[in-house]
Chains A and B, each alone.
Chain A
């Protein structure tokens, strides 16, 4: 028991500079609502924390597992819809709706994982894309999930802990709590037996197999856990926007954005998702707000995509790749 707690909270295996940087980061995030006046900055911060959290979950299969999953949005959708439908139709408090969403995502992932992991590389990536798109279309098609009309949650007076509706500050700490929960989970995971097995599989499947690791089972487990983590983020989205539809919570763009933020930050490290989200989310949100509506269409996306291309070209291993490169040179 003590060892598990230690694994969750300890960062002793990372250099001191990283630990200090992380503590500073935590302090900034915690104090953020009081430090900063503009509401938009707080909105950006919430979105950053959300995508950092999505990234952490995706990183489990995509980074530590080395399997490029381009369909994470379906899991987000499962969580979002589970929460939305349960809150709307049966008035179930938010916290009780998270688990069913996660369970559904895990179950569905388990069902598709075995056939999918027979595929490798690009075939696998496109298969994940296809599965997610199929689910999105099904959700548009089914009337009882609201179809294209989506699901709307009635507005409650804030703050409301059943429905988890708050003012901006409340949401900030809410998403921060979820983020920390996933972060600490990932910290434990990377030191766990499954974590090591997964990384072994990523680095060399044949060698891992020869060591007695069941390669497919390991991948499937990781995929299912990543699914559950993604669903949790989906539940948050429902409570935040009070309206969801398949285009909001399950589109291909979301899957790709999640994967991209991790890759920009550096997959396979626990900091990568946070760094990636810290760069891409504010970039997208500020460029979009400042430049759009100015009459010239598309400048904000041009700048955003240009920066992505430069990062891809200059440092394909992501920002964390740069940090590690610099470290190795010393």
Chain B
């Protein structure tokens, strides 16, 4: 009799454990990032941003004032935890596609996430489209990605068109006296531009956007060119920019060439009134670490700044957590990957299931309010903000940051003007 009871008890216990673990299951999301090769530092920071978001979702953080911090897993799925399954795409679109297939079919992920490099996002999202699996893109900014009419692809980050609009609104604002701490600058003092863009897909797209906006806003491009980002030497390119006597130097580089360019310009004692970088190379921590005080006064398109913590307390706390783990602040890229996983959590929660159709519906109807986000965005909602866009977040926005006070300094927000966290330094102080 007792043996019978024992067996019944053990069986019940087993069944109980089994159903518990089956209930508190995992939801796998495949994350494809550049984890090797020359973009590995960026890939590392992106991974860290995503990991932090997953940890916050899966745990309980009562002092963080955003909803996912209280969830402890996805509430509508019985507290199922989010598990990020990583794959390295090696900046090779073919590899990205192959890894996407592996994640979808073998790892059976409920969705995909990534890939930073726009070219890899293109092929990986094709695989998601073919398989009918949702793909959320937090960090690739080539405008073409949301102009393909795909129905399983959503992009969270604003794309190049936004950022270029920001730049020219900033320049206009500067000449109208809206910049904090600076009197109105006569427009003819800043209306000639020299633009240098690296010649892969991203740089070429940036250059085109800048040319279009410059024409619309009445700025003259006196020099513009594309250059190979793996160049060993950029002295003539730097010389060209100086010789053009442009007021503003605009760049669309990756990290290594950004460093080389600024270094070379410094050696040649260039003295423009303004230096601006189109994100990417200019916001990587290696850029400021390597160049030290030489970055002071440089403006960069960005999406985030640690200083935003002053206006958004949740951002400050989460940035502190990130800094404790990694030793550096969120960059615009890692912050976007953080938000991307947040989007996934909200979508899964609304969907109440891991069925692809349910998730698709949830993403299309999703709205996340600005108070949930560490970015100064108006929220997340997918729509068609620019002609031809589909399933693109309409409520995102960029910022323009300026390096001030380095090597121990900060990245201050100088645009949107109402979010400014410090006076703008104008003109560019130059290098001693």
Residue positions of A touching B, CB distance < 8 A: 38-40, 43, 47, 137, 140-141, 147-150, 152, 155, 158, 168, 237, 241-243, 245, 247-248, 285, 288-289, 292-293, 297-298, 300-301
Contacts and interface: CB of A to CB of B under 8 A. Distances in A.
A149 B47 CA distance: 26
26 contacts: A38-B102, A39-B106, A47-B98, A147-B204, A148-B199, A148-B203, A149-B144, A150-B122, A155-B126, A155-B130, A158-B130, A241-B93, A241-B126, A243-B123, A243-B126, A245-B119, A247-B92, A248-B93, A288-B88, A289-B87, A292-B36, A292-B86, A293-B86, A293-B87, A297-B35, A300-B36
B129 interface: yes
B320 interface: no
B97 interface: yes
A181 to B, nearest CB: 22
A241 B88 contact: no
Interface in B194-222: 199-201, 203-205
B199 A285 contact: no
B201 A297 contact: no
Interface string B91-111: 111110111011011100000
Contacts of B123: 241-243
Given A148-B199, A248-B92, A288-B90, A241 B97 contact: yes
B40 interface: yes
Interface residues of B, number: 40
Contact of A293 (B35, B101, B119, B201): B35
Residue from A40, A47, A149 whose CB has the most chain B CB atoms within 10 Å: A149
A40 B106 contact: yes
A148 B204 contact: yes
A289 B92 CA distance: 14
B201 A292 contact: no
A217 B95 CA distance: 39
B60 interface: no
Nearest to A249: B94
A152 B150 CA distance: 13
A40 B101 contact: yes
Given A39-B104, A297-B40, A247 B200 contact: yes
Contacts of A141: 199
Interface in B40-95: 40, 44, 47, 86-88, 90-95
A247 B204 CA distance: 15
A56 to B, nearest CB: 20
A148 B201 contact: yes
A137 B228 CA distance: 9
Contacts of B90: 288
Given A38-B105, A40-B105, A245-B93, A292 B88 contact: yes
Contact of B201 (A43, A241, A242, A245): A245
Q: 4 tightest CB-CB pairs across the interface, nearest first? A: A39-B105, A293-B86, A292-B88, A40-B102
B148 interface: yes
Interface in B4-57: 33, 35-36, 40, 44, 47
Contacts of B119: 150, 243, 245, 247-248
B98 A140 contact: no
B170 to A, nearest CB: 27
A242 B126 contact: yes
Contacts of A158: 130
Nearest to A167: B130
A8 B204 CA distance: 48
Given A241-B126, A293-B88, A39 B36 contact: no
A169 B83 CA distance: 29
A241 B94 contact: yes
Contacts of A155: 126, 129-130, 150
Contacts of B130: 155, 158
Nearest to A153: B126
A28 to B, nearest CB: 20
Contacts of A245: 93, 119, 201
A300 B88 CA distance: 11
B385 to A, nearest CB: 21
Contact of B93 (A40, A137, A168, A243): A243
Interface in B350-395: none
Given A248-B94, A292-B88, A293-B87, A243 B122 contact: yes
